[in-house]
Amino acid sequence: MNETMTDPAQLLTTLGLIIVAMPVLLVAMFFGAFLINRHPGEQKISFCIQFAIGVSLLAAASAAATMLWHRVAQHPIELGDWVITPHYHLKFEFVLDLLSLSYVTLTLVLCAVIGAFSTRYLHRERGYERFFVLFALFLLGMVTTSLSDTVETLFAGWEMVGLSSVLLIAFFQERPSPPRNGLRVWIVYRVCDVALMLAAILMHEINGAGDFDHLVGNSAWPAHDPLLIGPHFTLLGVLFVIAAAGKSALVPFCGWLPRAMEGPTPSSAVFYGALSVHLGAFLLLRVSPVLDSSIWLQIAVVVLGVTTSAFAYLSGRVQSDIKSALAFASLTQVGIIIAEIGLGFRYLALLHLLGHACLRTLQFLRAPSLLHDHHQLENAIGSRPHEEGVMWEQKLPPATQRWLYRFALERGYLDSILEKGIARPFVRLFRGLDALETKWAKWLDGEPQAEKAPRNLQ
């Protein structure tokens, strides 16, 4: 009896480690080739990408089938205790459950599709090897985040996804715009990373560890024990919502999403159309019991999702390029998913997330050829196809229509508000502190201070 009970657990542990091990080997191989100055050909890179993703996907499917067959709701995979003190406990742990297996399967399927597409799309591109190194790092970050069962594990994958995403936004380094936009996205990511780090610290203060089980109990997702009582859980939920808002480009962090379109089309499809933009929703699904600790927090999440969806719809209507229009269309659906999470529809939000990610990936990959087909249609009919306006827009007064158009064209003035109201005061503060530090260092070194010129009293 004991052997039959331990065999599924051992099998699931092995399969879970295989899911993570293949992206780790892929990253190690690419970075090793870079360190020894080896340049594998395009065919070898394509084979390695497809082989690693294929093995991980097969392991994920086998794990899901095993859990269904043996009726296992969740299975933790511990990687050992890294730090143990009387007041601090750090360990890395993965979990196999409905949420983690669904999202990791989605990640592997879409990355396999994007990998096959990219080997042809980036054929003979100067940064071919660099793209797939960052692609492998992104894959490892997504797999780590999807399977994480502790906030430390999630944060490690969260950082790998953010770093690879920003570097791929700045992929075309010879142009002035991509590095600048990558820097702006990196600044927004820093904000959500700080919020996630503060949430991790608060989790350790509450429970002495960063395990999600200490928050939601031992029940499998989405069930949880009613243990979350007190204002500290509301604060924890607020920090998680801020982290999710920055990662998923929710209001007021919407400005970085259209700037992310500077990267290659494959990265735009898999990152900002399908996977990376949904990480905030995935985080809220994972910690959804924390949201249940306060009705006001649930209302705030719903308002945030609806506001983001409405803003993205208006902004997407006035975009002149297809990638930006698709980006705002993705954000519209992400806002609805966030609202569903706030309303407590966990299964609906998960199904919505999976379906939307697949659809948006197809649209991003189809966009270049779709433009070509559209131009051929215009040449065939001799004019542009007539577009019917939306009925509710036609019923608005002309002044309101013009205001909405300007509001959408300026993207809700969020960029100017964040730049003038938040960024500039911080820049001035840091410049003042830098000048003060310079004066203090010169005084310690004994350098003479520059005398002020006397005022002319005349």
pLDDT tens series, the chain, 458 aa: 344 445 788 999 999 999 999 999 999 998 888 778 788 888 888 899 999 999 999 999 999 999 999 999 889 998 877 666 666 667 788 999 999 999 999 999 999 999 988 888 888 878 888 899 999 999 999 999 999 999 989 999 999 999 998 898 888 888 888 888 888 888 888 888 999 999 988 888 877 777 887 776 677 787 776 555 567 788 899 999 999 999 998 988 888 888 888 778 788 777 777 888 999 999 999 988 888 878 899 999 999 999 999 999 888 888 877 878 888 899 999 999 999 999 999 999 999 999 999 998 888 888 777 766 666 666 677 666 666 555 666 777 888 778 887 887 777 777 777 777 666 777 788 888 888 888 888 888 776 655 555 555 44
Asked if 329 and 418 sit in the same domain, the reply is no
Please indicate, yes or no, if residue 382 is contained in any of the structural domains.
no
Asked if 362 and 422 sit in the same domain, the reply is no
Please indicate, yes or no, if residue 244 is contained in any of the structural domains.
yes
Residue 248 near residue 242 (C-beta atoms within 8 A): no
Please indicate, yes or no, if residue 375 is contained in any of the structural domains.
no
Asked if 414 and 302 sit in the same domain, the reply is no
| pLDDT for res 449 | 59
Please indicate, yes or no, if residue 445 is contained in any of the structural domains.
no
Residue 283 near residue 247 (C-beta atoms within 8 A): yes
| pLDDT for res 333 | 94
Asked if 183 and 322 sit in the same domain, the reply is yes
Asked if 351 and 407 sit in the same domain, the reply is no
User: Tokens in use for 418?
Assistant: 């964040």
Helices then strands, counting H and E runs in the chain, come out as 19, 2
Please indicate, yes or no, if residue 95 is contained in any of the structural domains.
yes
Residue 240 near residue 216 (C-beta atoms within 8 A): no
Asked if 420 and 277 sit in the same domain, the reply is no
Please indicate, yes or no, if residue 355 is contained in any of the structural domains.
yes
Asked if 411 and 351 sit in the same domain, the reply is no
Please indicate, yes or no, if residue 409 is contained in any of the structural domains.
yes
User: Tokens in use for 350?
Assistant: 């998960």
The rounded distance, in Å, linking the Cα atoms of 276 and 364 is 14
Asked if 425 and 361 sit in the same domain, the reply is no
Residue 267 near residue 130 (C-beta atoms within 8 A): no
Asked if 265 and 404 sit in the same domain, the reply is no
Domain count, the chain: 2
Domain of residue 257 covers 9-367
Residue 253 near residue 191 (C-beta atoms within 8 A): yes
| pLDDT for res 396 | 77
Asked if 59 and 199 sit in the same domain, the reply is yes
Please indicate, yes or no, if residue 2 is contained in any of the structural domains.
no
pTM of the model: 0.86
User: Tokens in use for 172?
Assistant: 């075309």
Q: What's the angle, vertex CA 301, arms to CA 253 and CA 415, rounded to 5?
A: 15
Domain stops at, among 367, 389, 409:
367
The rounded distance, in Å, linking the Cα atoms of 250 and 328 is 11
| pLDDT for res 146 | 94
Asked if 363 and 401 sit in the same domain, the reply is no
| pLDDT for res 232 | 78
Best CA proximity match to 276, nearest among 164, 172, 180, 352: 164
Asked if 331 and 201 sit in the same domain, the reply is yes
pLDDT, tens digit, for every residue of 251-282? 888 888 888 887 787 887 777 778 889 999 99
